[in-house]
Chains A and B, each alone.
Chain A
Amino acid sequence: METDMVTNSRAEVLRRVRAATGGTSDGAAAWIGWNGIAREYRRKGTRERKKVLALLEDRLRDYDGRVVRVTSEGVGQSVAEILAERGVRRMVVPVGLPVGWLPVSWMPPSAGGVEFVVDEGLSSHELDGVDGVMTGATLAIAETGTFVLQSVAGQGRRATTLVPDYHLCVVKAEDVVETVPEAMERLQEMAGLATTFVSGPSATADIEMTRIKGVHGPRFLDVILIV
């Protein structure tokens, strides 16, 4: 009975759709039709490399993210400085984060250093108890000031970059694209992974259309750009 009902609803909705569009669609016709869609918008960026990176920085700052540029050897040092400045005490990191990104001269928490915890399955409550999270990113989009996170090594589970109040994201210059279409092209192969586009700290415009930084996601965001 229950199953009948479910099957019937499915059949009925599809029947109505087909009655409305004039019959059952052909897959090949759909394929041809989709390929015929006019895509005359920009599919590739036109700026030179230096300007693309500058654009990303500008757009990140415009939405209240902070950005620092470092060379790949300087990441650990930069992380140490930023965390000290932010005053965070406990940081969670995903499995697979490059070791070279962790601070070089590390002090134990008992001596006032930052404590690092690897997310090997922290509960939501445990995540709520850490000050911040540090991850890499799959790519960044200059034109929109966005970085894209996926559930892969070095970036981790979605909850990890959501519950703590501070996010430090490390982006490599070679992973920066200029436009949204270039980003989607790179993401296509891994389209099935849980994916999050992050553009600035959590925000809302629900009160008088004023952008207010920080509601439920991380309220503070720093980006280290490795050039």
Chain B
Amino acid sequence: MSRGGLDPKTAPTFPMAAKAMLGDAQLRKNVRHATDVIQGKRARVVGEMPDWQELREAGKQIRRHTMEYLDFYLEEFEANCTRAGGVVHWARDAEEARRIVVELVKASGSDEVIKIKSMTTEEIQLNPALEAAGIHPYETDLAELIIQLGEDRPSHIVVPALHKNRQEIREIFQREMNLPELGDRPQDLADAARMFLREKFLRVKTAVSGANFLIAETGGVCVVESEGNGRMCLTLPETLITIAGIDKVLPRFQDLEVMLQLLPRSATGERMNPYNSIWTGVDAASADDGLRDGPGVFHVVLMDNARTEILADEEGRQTLNCIRCGACQNACPVYRQTGGHAYGSVYAGPIGAILTPQLQEMHHAQSLPYASSLCGACYEVCPVKINIPEVLIHLRNKVVKQNTAGVAGLFDVEAGAMKAMAMIFRSERRFRATQRLGRMAERPLVRKDERGQGWIGWLPGLLGGWTQARDLEEMPKETFRDWWERRGRDGN
């Protein structure tokens, strides 16, 4: 797989990609195992919280309120971050964000950067842009390192290498770190990553990070992580460049009391992840006395990249409430079968199925809103109560409207069939006639099994989608209505 992959503009449709993934038994086994473990851990620590539902409700209200007053909070963040010595940049789209980051890295005088795991930088394909500019990015999160060294693509928001098992990871490390003797115990692999990256942490002078939260009230930024690679990147370099979607703002410092309870328990099933870092601009102490805490130069890039399109859609807006915990992915029966790559986007699973097409302004990834059985498991585990099934249906509606608009719609077979169905369902007479017609039409297709039950194994045209993977039972000889009427006449 090429490292530039997972572009929704060029990805195959979900059903096509999913079919290929379903054939990979190892991948399915890995995904199943990892999502089972993480769901069990989440359930246990969520169960410890007597006020989980109240926290979810507060989380939802905080996020909804933030979106309603987003311009106010963005300006407040900008003013407070600037006052604390940070430099705030604005980017309309991915292209502009990439250009700003590349220029800032160059201005820092470094031709390499250490990176904290950031889905936003994955979204805008930052690494290929850095490489094209002669800058080498080092991913420092263990999972991202596995992805980068294996020239693979992330398949999960929180655990991007969840589709790889320990033996596969060992092979990548043996090859790329030149460690032929490396064992496959998770501890061996983590130690190898520590050795490999420590030298880079101590040497590289510029870092790139994402952000979990931007705090408007203080101008502070919060990053939540486990390994300490985040702290290394936030603390040791001279220049820090943080890139964040405009949706990452929180109104006040106090709001963290809700988010820092919801996020770790939902994401990794921990009461609190090992490290949360909060910093505000740059430390005022001078670098000369050596006591300055952290980088002397700090930039934040606030990126739109179609988030305002989502904001403008009243029903789709709740998508922006997402705090990227990945709980919906672990709970989703579709994701658990296909893994993340089938979604053709760095945002996979239920949240990806609604976020990706909207970030593409509905021009691409149109099959994703259909990549769901609408079972609602995602909504149930969402820490900020995003009603994903509701948004999925809303987006399906948009896709249909878009594809049947104008003259093309007149020739759309599926739209024509749906119109005909609507006509049939509106009249009892037409409905009964259609049932009679169906019983006649199916006759040549029905095959009896040993118990005399009729099955249809093949249907023509569009209907064939149903029989591709299963048989259809023949229509009953008598409908309920026929039976009811006969019963009335016979008086029994």
A contacts, CB < 8 Å to B: 6, 9-10, 12-14, 16-21, 24-27, 29-30, 33-34, 37-42, 59, 63, 95, 119-125, 128, 141, 143-146, 151, 157-159, 162-163, 180-181, 183-185, 187-188, 191-210, 212, 214-218
> Does B372 count as interface, using CB distance less than 8 angstroms?
no
Contacting pair B202 A200 (CB below 8 A): no
Contacting pair B277 A122 (CB below 8 A): no
* 28 pairs from A and B in contact (CB 8 Å cutoff): A9-B92, A13-B91, A13-B302, A16-B308, A20-B311, A25-B69, A29-B69, A33-B65, A33-B69, A119-B291, A121-B289, A144-B271, A146-B272, A159-B235, A196-B231, A196-B276, A199-B271, A199-B275, A202-B226, A207-B166, A207-B186, A208-B30, A208-B165, A210-B186, A215-B193, A215-B228, A216-B197, A217-B228
* CB-defined contacts of A194 to chain B, threshold 8 Å: 277-280, 283, 293-294
* CB-defined contacts of B289 to chain A, threshold 8 Å: 121
Contacting pair A212 B186 (CB below 8 A): yes
> Does B354 count as interface, using CB distance less than 8 angstroms?
no
Which of B65, B73, B235, B246 gathers most chain A CB within 10 Å?
Answer: B235
Contacting pair A199 B229 (CB below 8 A): no
Give the CA-CA distance A16 to B313 in the complex, in Å: 12
Give the CA-CA distance A192 to B312 in the complex, in Å: 33
Contacting pair B271 A145 (CB below 8 A): yes
Contacting pair A209 B159 (CB below 8 A): yes
* Closest beta carbon of chain B to A32's beta carbon, Å: 10
Contacting pair B193 A30 (CB below 8 A): no
Contacting pair B235 A158 (CB below 8 A): yes
> Does B68 count as interface, using CB distance less than 8 angstroms?
yes
> Does B253 count as interface, using CB distance less than 8 angstroms?
yes
From A121, A162, A197, B272 is in contact (CB under 8 Å) with: A197
With A13-B90, A194-B278 in contact, do A207 and B74 touch (Cβ < 8 Å)? no
Contacting pair A162 B58 (CB below 8 A): no
Binds A, one of B18-26, B32-40, B445-453: B32-40
* CB-defined contacts of B264 to chain A, threshold 8 Å: 144
* Closest beta carbon of chain B to A19's beta carbon, Å: 7
* CB-defined contacts of B227 to chain A, threshold 8 Å: 202-204, 206, 215-217
Which of A18, A37, A203, A206 gathers most chain B CB within 10 Å?
Answer: A206
Contacting pair B57 A38 (CB below 8 A): yes
Which of B51, B92, B228, B254 gathers most chain A CB within 10 Å?
Answer: B228
Contacting pair B194 A162 (CB below 8 A): no
Contacting pair B194 A30 (CB below 8 A): no
> Does B123 count as interface, using CB distance less than 8 angstroms?
no
With A158-B293, A195-B277, A216-B227 in contact, do A151 and B283 touch (Cβ < 8 Å)? yes
Contacting pair A14 B74 (CB below 8 A): yes
Give the CA-CA distance A141 to B92 in the complex, in Å: 40
With A199-B271, A216-B228 in contact, do A38 and B58 touch (Cβ < 8 Å)? yes
Contacting pair B37 A192 (CB below 8 A): no
* Closest beta carbon of chain B to A60's beta carbon, Å: 11
* CB-defined contacts of B273 to chain A, threshold 8 Å: 199
* CB-defined contacts of A13 to chain B, threshold 8 Å: 74, 90-92, 246, 302, 304, 308
* CB-defined contacts of B218 to chain A, threshold 8 Å: 191-192
Contacting pair A215 B69 (CB below 8 A): no
Segment 263-295 of B: residues with Cβ below 8 Å from A: 264, 268, 270-280, 283, 289-294
> Does B400 count as interface, using CB distance less than 8 angstroms?
no
> Does B251 count as interface, using CB distance less than 8 angstroms?
yes
* CB-defined contacts of A6 to chain B, threshold 8 Å: 89-90
From B70, B84, B217, B235, A17 is in contact (CB under 8 Å) with: B70
* CB-defined contacts of A21 to chain B, threshold 8 Å: 67-71, 311
* CB-defined contacts of A143 to chain B, threshold 8 Å: 271
Contacting pair B311 A17 (CB below 8 A): yes
Query: Closest A-chain residue to B64, C-beta based?
Result: A37
Contacting pair B236 A159 (CB below 8 A): yes
* Closest beta carbon of chain A to B272's beta carbon, Å: 4
Contacting pair B235 A181 (CB below 8 A): no
Contacting pair B71 A14 (CB below 8 A): yes
Query: Closest B-chain residue to A187, C-beta based?
Result: B253
* Closest beta carbon of chain B to A95's beta carbon, Å: 8
With A17-B70, A25-B71, A122-B290 in contact, do A34 and B271 touch (Cβ < 8 Å)? no
> Does B475 count as interface, using CB distance less than 8 angstroms?
no
* CB-defined contacts of B231 to chain A, threshold 8 Å: 158, 162, 196, 216-217
Contacting pair B220 A216 (CB below 8 A): no
Q: Which 6 A-B pairs have the closest CB atoms?
A: A121-B290, A217-B228, A20-B312, A216-B228, A16-B308, A25-B72
> Does B10 count as interface, using CB distance less than 8 angstroms?
no
* CB-defined contacts of A158 to chain B, threshold 8 Å: 231, 234-235, 277, 293-294
Binds A, one of B141-149, B362-370, B387-395, B425-433: B141-149
Q: Mark B173-196, 1 if CB is under 8 A from A, else 0.
A: 000000000000011011101100
Give the CA-CA distance A210 to B33 in the complex, in Å: 11
Contacting pair A184 B276 (CB below 8 A): no
Give the CA-CA distance A20 to B358 in the complex, in Å: 14
Give the CA-CA distance A84 to B382 in the complex, in Å: 47
Give the CA-CA distance A42 to B67 in the complex, in Å: 25
With A17-B74, A33-B68 in contact, do A181 and B257 touch (Cβ < 8 Å)? yes
* Closest beta carbon of chain B to A74's beta carbon, Å: 28
Give the CA-CA distance A72 to B75 in the complex, in Å: 47
With A18-B71, A162-B231, A204-B142 in contact, do A30 and B251 touch (Cβ < 8 Å)? yes
* CB-defined contacts of B473 to chain A, threshold 8 Å: none
Give the CA-CA distance A40 to B55 in the complex, in Å: 8
> Does B297 count as interface, using CB distance less than 8 angstroms?
no
Query: Closest A-chain residue to B227, C-beta based?
Result: A215
* Closest beta carbon of chain A to B336's beta carbon, Å: 13
Apart from A144-B272, A194-B278, A194-B280, list 19 A-B contacts with CB within 8 A: A17-B74, A19-B308, A19-B312, A30-B73, A33-B68, A37-B58, A39-B258, A41-B258, A159-B236, A184-B257, A192-B218, A194-B293, A194-B294, A196-B231, A198-B274, A199-B275, A215-B228, A216-B229, A216-B232
> Does B434 count as interface, using CB distance less than 8 angstroms?
no
With A29-B69, A216-B197, A216-B227 in contact, do A198 and B275 touch (Cβ < 8 Å)? yes
* CB-defined contacts of B229 to chain A, threshold 8 Å: 215-216
* CB-defined contacts of B235 to chain A, threshold 8 Å: 157-159, 162
